[in-house]
Structure 1
Amino acid sequence: GLAVVRPADANETAAAWLAALAGRGPVGLALARQALPVLPTPAADVRAGVARGAYVVTDAQETPDVVLLASGSEVAVALAAREQLAGRDIRARVVSVPCLEWFTEQDAQYRDFVVPPSAAARVVVEAGTSFGWHGLLGAHGQAVTVDDFGTSAPPDDAMAAVGITVDAVVGAAVASLSSARS
């Protein structure tokens, strides 16, 4: 019954704390150890989105070609990957998923709004195991995750060592799109 929340920035951390105080049961906050940029999302949207477990941080102008799902510090990586994908004319939606447990509790209408079924190309970016994410990935999704343990280094070095980079996310997005289109 433990809900694990990985906030992406200071606003998500405050929103997670408020949601935890609302009596949702046991909550563990997993905070980053490095400085993180503040997401380009209005604070009210962040509070509402964190309380629901996931929300759209930034969207494509049209229907997205690919959905990038991330939590914690990896949301910043997904946002940077979105910029590179835009340079390739690939429309990407970035979704912050601070709490999978809370997101899966939401009704299908909200889950489908955040992660549209029509967007079969999906990438999960998580500095943790891929376990639990496969329900969101679908048949064509790609996981840029860490399924082993033991890397210790300064944050940027550790992320590069385990393969959580902008280039890896862009590559996974292209592979997912290719799979979805075939």
Structure 2
Amino acid sequence: MNSQSLSRGSASIRPFALSLSVAARAALKHQQPCCLWLTGLSGSGKSTLANALEVQLNEQGRHTFVLDGDNLRTGLCNDLGMSDAARKENIRRIGEVARLMVDAGLIVIVSAISPFSADRATAKALFGPGQFFEVYISTPFDVCARRDPKGLYRAALDGRIKAFTGLDSPYEAPLAADCEINTDEVELADAVGHILAALFKK
């Protein structure tokens, strides 16, 4: 049996109908599960903000998990490169894992550059109404390059890294994000508060 016969649309695959509902799992945790999807340039502050969000939610008694793009590339996605096709597959995998975690009743925080709007739209389509909350970390390129926590901007500007997002590979900013944060203008605690206020209002 080849890989094509095992695709999602294959007649040989029939998803099993589980008895326990998403609502039942969520009720046990006393929360409404959802996915907070943080998108933005490398160095924009996504991971720091995702971590702070999870800590705050945990202190409120919420059941959470962070899916960080770099962390996933050391395991689940370590076979992927940085081509457009590989980035698309990277986001597809993250979206599928996030959906499974939401089905389990968790509040999932995704921190991933996710540069292409079509891929983010595909991820959003995996979730039910009100389950997907897009947060655009709009920290400008020059600020991210000045921070350069991993030395990636210097390497890219020196020509040692090709297809670097925001430089020679595009970043397609969200046009209608549920929340927007520029971490160069907003302190971390205030950013967390702003995002959570917008989330709970929605």
Query: Does the pair score TM above 0.5?
Result: no
TM class by shorter chain equals 0.3 to 0.5
Which structure is higher in RCO with an 8 Å CA cutoff and minimum separation 6? 2
